[in-house]
Amino acid sequence: MQIPQSQYDNATAIRTDLGAIFVSLELSRATWLVTSLSPGGGEKMSKHVVQGGDVGELLSRFAHLQEKVRCRTGCVFPIITIQEAGLDGFWIHRVLQDHGVESHIVDAASIAASRRGRRAKTDRIDGETLVRTLLAFKRGEPRVCAMVRAPSPQEEDRRRVCRERRVLIAERVEHVNRIKGLLFAQGIGEYQPLRKDRRIRLDELRTGDGRALPPHLKAQILRELDRLELLLDHIAVVERERDLLVTAADENTTITRPAAMLCAIKGVGAEIAAVLCTEGLSRHFDNRRQVAAYAGLAPTPWQSGTIDREQGVSKAGNPRLRTTMIQLAWLWLRNQPSSALSEWFFHRVQSNGGRHKKSTIVALARKLLVALWKYVRLGVVIDGVAMKAA
């Protein structure tokens, strides 16, 4: 039976009968592009440009959209917005929610895109794509996109401690390597800039051909030591804040209780416990698959016809949590050799003839993350785990 063309058009038209005004925000430093689809306005999407950062003008545009729809339909419809997760963070999302606007933040990588070699990309096209994605999401279509759960301001602020320490450690490595490189070019390879007597030993150094350090080189290294010592002071301050975050007993046990439980495990220190709690384990997950996917440790199979191979982990989640879990997996083998997870790793590597250790350690990191999540959330103790002495 042939479907009439009019019925086919109605079936494929954009639905605007969900009782809301759907708005997408394409954000940039200079301008914000507001793309909207209103009830009673057909399938045409309207576009307006708002000056970047001007929230008052944005809210005025929303009020103008609602007034136009009220004059056209006689009803007042709420506004539902969508924006991509990006440099603006979550402050716009919080402002919209405070003004009664239903706001959603989407992971841009989760939106289906054309696979053509050259596809057009403009803010207008992206704005329309976001509106269609929001429509499909509100219709309840499965796996149409991945919405981001915005953290509270307190949760977002607690992450700063571990993230700042990671940045400071990277800067410390740069200064240490620069000092060692300058000295190695003079035939000096035993100098350690992180020792407490670094300035005294600097005066005693002699080049490979027996000369004292040239004055300009020594002055440059002294300035590098000044910056290095300032970094060491900042790292000490941040680590004290981290320890307070892990051990302090306050009314909010979302961070402190899981961190204390993790620190009681042998091989888990304050830094790893703080990163795991602030970056991952303080969030709500429905099942173990969501835990692994959030860390980017979920497998990505490639199956088509007779082709069936594994591409490795997705790496689409939190990179800080994933890196920490890989580090913890290696430490776990050293400090927890009798645990069930370590025995699984050793048996798996032995069955492969001692090969594929790196890929197996990633699988161990995924299993360990799920086990730690069950431990801090449900109190399920990991098999064979050794705890620290009281």
Q: With H, G, I as helix, E, B as strand and everything else as coil, classify residue 152.
A: coil
Residue/partner pairs of 291-295 with CB below 8 Å, 24 or more apart: 291/369, 291/370, 291/373, 292/366, 292/369, 292/370, 293/317, 294/318, 294/321, 295/321, 295/322, 295/325, 295/366, 295/369
309 shares its domain with 362: yes
Q: What is the CATH number of the domain that holds 61?
A: 3.30.420.40
114 shares its domain with 200: no
φ, ψ for residue 372 (rounded to 5)?
-70, -35
> CA-CA distances (angstroms) from residue 291 to 245, 261, 314?
23, 18, 13
Q: How far apart are CA 300 and CA 313, in angstroms?
A: 6
Question: pLDDT per position in the chain (390 positions), as tens?
Answer: 444 544 444 444 455 466 899 999 999 999 999 999 998 877 789 999 999 999 999 999 999 999 999 998 889 999 999 999 989 999 999 999 999 999 999 998 889 888 887 888 899 999 999 999 999 999 989 889 989 999 999 989 999 999 999 999 999 999 999 999 999 999 999 999 999 999 999 999 999 999 999 999 999 999 999 999 999 999 999 999 999 888 765 445 556 688 889 999 999 999 999 999 999 888 889 899 999 999 999 888 888 888 888 888 888 889 999 999 999 999 999 999 999 999 999 999 999 888 889 999 999 999 999 999 999 998 899 999 999 886
Q: How far apart are CA 318 and CA 162, in angstroms?
A: 14
- Residue 387 included in any domain: no
Q: Is 100 left (phi over 0), alpha (psi -120 to 50) or beta?
A: left
- Residue 144 included in any domain: no
DSSP secondary structure letters along 54-88: -HHHHHHHHHHHHHHHHHHHS----EEEEEE-STT
- Residue 236 included in any domain: yes
Beta bridge partners of 31: 51
- Residue 386 included in any domain: no
266 shares its domain with 240: no
12 shares its domain with 124: yes
- Residue 146 included in any domain: no
258 shares its domain with 342: yes
93 shares its domain with 204: no
Q: Is 312 left (phi over 0), alpha (psi -120 to 50) or beta?
A: left
Q: What is the CATH number of the domain that holds 179?
A: 1.20.58
Domain count, the chain: 3
Domain final residue, candidates 75, 106, 139: 139
The residue segments making up the domain with residue 326 are 253-378
315 shares its domain with 203: no
- Residue 145 included in any domain: no
